[in-house]
Structure 1
């Protein structure tokens, strides 16, 4: 015979189940009504106008329900046996426009740095494919953040495709497991602090729950989302120069470009770092050069690894005459340990996913491109800027250990390239 305690437990469980059922019914009604509660057919013209970029609370709830459905249906265990991938969780993952003359900016981040997307998206002005890394127990938080960003920004809804990567299979979700839509004003003030309160303000790659698989994330962002024949892979805290996407499309569409450069060319964007106030990073080359002269900007990694960017030949780039249109002024050969930022065709080799955490993750891809016969052409009016100066001593405690581990992996990687490209005379 059931005890009093067991009867109470059953009663509480029943109430919980009823509450979840009612919430699912409510959300389903919202989904079926397309967010039009309170309006009769023909009343659309009398609705109050929404603030540009925002959506109604009902539409936000509908989007949340669709995100939960996508998480349940897009599950894909990765071949390494350690990660779970969910491509096109929002924003779509269509590939029908991959032949178009366009450029997708691909990027990656963990939850605590998702707020960086705003300034990146504003400066870029085109399609963005973002791979988000988070622990399995933060699935609800990840979908809450994505749905909030989509609800409050038409740019996010229209131009960003999201893909989730987990270090372990995430738990199944119900719509009720995702936090309530906070409203855009509240989200603007509190999204960053709320995410950090749940995930911690991580220092570099020190996430605490799993190694950061930067190259896996870069590959997911490139293969799963966006449009166009070209991709620009950037870290989420790197900002491109102003008007870069239309300038690139114009440059790539010229007959002279097609005649001068083949399919095995990547276009290098000189990389700088700036200590400007957030949102005020230099946008034009003239402005960048002024900041450099004032000491407020400098070549990327100047203090940490000057040789990692030196082959770009900043002195030569600075002396180029300013132009009104984008072009490519000179080529540079790859030299170890160069790790340039560049525009590449989608057909270029992917990043090697064995490289995780700090060290050699971008160098390895540039090395392979060199061995595979790719040409490195430096763009004259384009550049990228890192937010803030990179300084020694501001990295996580395990940085040096990770770098040595990846240095050894890089030695094996270079030996493998000799087998992968037996006809190439190039070596790293």
Structure 2
């Protein structure tokens, strides 16, 4: 998700000119844009369960253990349909509606066109209110209205292997019996292949990696974002192993929603929306384990503008300022020393830095 924007930013830093010497630009960027500030307190009209999944009972105990959580706009709902086709289990989808008169009929057309979406997706609507894309508000809407306590966070433009829900049931059972808080990591990849050609097994995935058709997500652009997953270990792993959390890690996770906080809704637009939540989980004591078989693959597409007129680097700076406030607040909330590093995170005095673009 961050790949193209981070490439843009880091190439500017390294090639165009020395940002450290451009003091005026630095001071301007550190000050958040007004549209970002205004978004902190904006509320949204919502319609939970605008569409109720037809294959999921509303009156008897649900037979499934895990719900995928995702968020999208109407124009990318077809990507969610690809995800649901393979998952064949509950999906809680929050849709950002910008023009209800035009988009609601499109939604009904999509539901008629994609049977799996009709059957397995509970759809919740959030109506736009003059902010950047409210990614974490949308995630929280989907989480609150999920059918199960165990949730798998995914973005709309990812696909997952068929059969993954049932494969994960033993992991859920282990987490339910452990005193420790556990979250299971899904190694994340990206590909420009037609989605119908994307693999359903680890063996098929490894073949496509060798052929250069699939690659780990963002390792060249942001090594810390997925590095702790340790892809080289995963390629040969046949059992789960612990990922050593360090700041900026942003894996896609399966966890029990009752054990953690919701996503911080200050983050709107581009940047730190997921990193900040994983950091909070780490401070709360979660242990992260990489399961050895399943994975998710990003369907490459053109970078979105995140419902903002601001460039991606400006949006990222705004989010950086917010995360620099969040880090010490979270540590204090869970009785950690806000002046000492816990997970290689920046301390507040050094946090707003260009280093965080390429970290």
TM-score interval, smaller chain? 0.7 to 0.9
Q: Which residue of 1 aligns with 2:270?
A: 358
Structure 1 position 299, deviation (Å): 0.7
CA RMSD of aligned residues (A): 2.7
Structure 1 position 91, deviation (Å): 0.7
Report how many aligned residue pairs link the two structures.
296
Q: Which residue of 2 aligns with 1:248?
A: 168
CA contact (8 A) 1:101 1:229 kept: no
Larger Rg: 1
CA distance in 2 between counterparts of 1:287 and 1:141 reads: 41
Partner SS, residue 240 of structure 2? strand
Q: 1:284 aligns with which of 198, 201, 210?
A: 201
Q: Which residue of 2 aligns with 1:340?
A: 251
TM-score (norm 1): 0.64
CA distance in 2 between counterparts of 1:97 and 1:222 reads: 20
Q: Which runs of 5+ in 2 are unaligned?
A: 1-38, 346-359
Structure with higher RCO (Cα < 8 A, 6+ apart): 2
TM-score (norm 2): 0.75
Q: Which residue of 1 aligns with 2:7?
A: none
CA distance in 2 between counterparts of 1:249 and 1:333 reads: 24
Which deviations, in whole Å up to 9, do the C-alpha atoms of 1:32-86 show, x marking residues without a partner? Answer: xxxxxxxxxxxxxxxxxxxxxxxxxxxxxxxxxxxxxxxxxxxxxx993342211
CA contact (8 A) 1:274 1:389 kept: no
CA distance in 2 between counterparts of 1:354 and 1:362 reads: 12
1:271/1:140 CA distance change after superposition, 3 Å:
same
Q: Which residue of 1 aligns with 2:236?
A: 319
CA distance in 2 between counterparts of 1:330 and 1:381 reads: 12
1:279/1:90 CA distance change after superposition, 3 Å:
same
1:154/1:389 CA distance change after superposition, 3 Å:
closer
1:94/1:395 CA distance change after superposition, 3 Å:
same
CA contact (8 A) 2:234 2:292 kept: yes
CA distance in 1 between counterparts of 2:58 and 2:139 reads: 17
Structure 1 position 94, deviation (Å): 8.8
Partner SS, residue 279 of structure 1? helix
Structure 1 position 145, deviation (Å): 2.1
Q: Which residue of 1 aligns with 2:95?
A: 132
Which deviations, in whole Å up to 9, do the C-alpha atoms of 1:114-137 show, x marking residues without a partner? Answer: 2212211111111111111122xx
Matched, 1:406 2:323: no
CA distance in 2 between counterparts of 1:292 and 1:216 reads: 35
1:271/1:229 CA distance change after superposition, 3 Å:
same
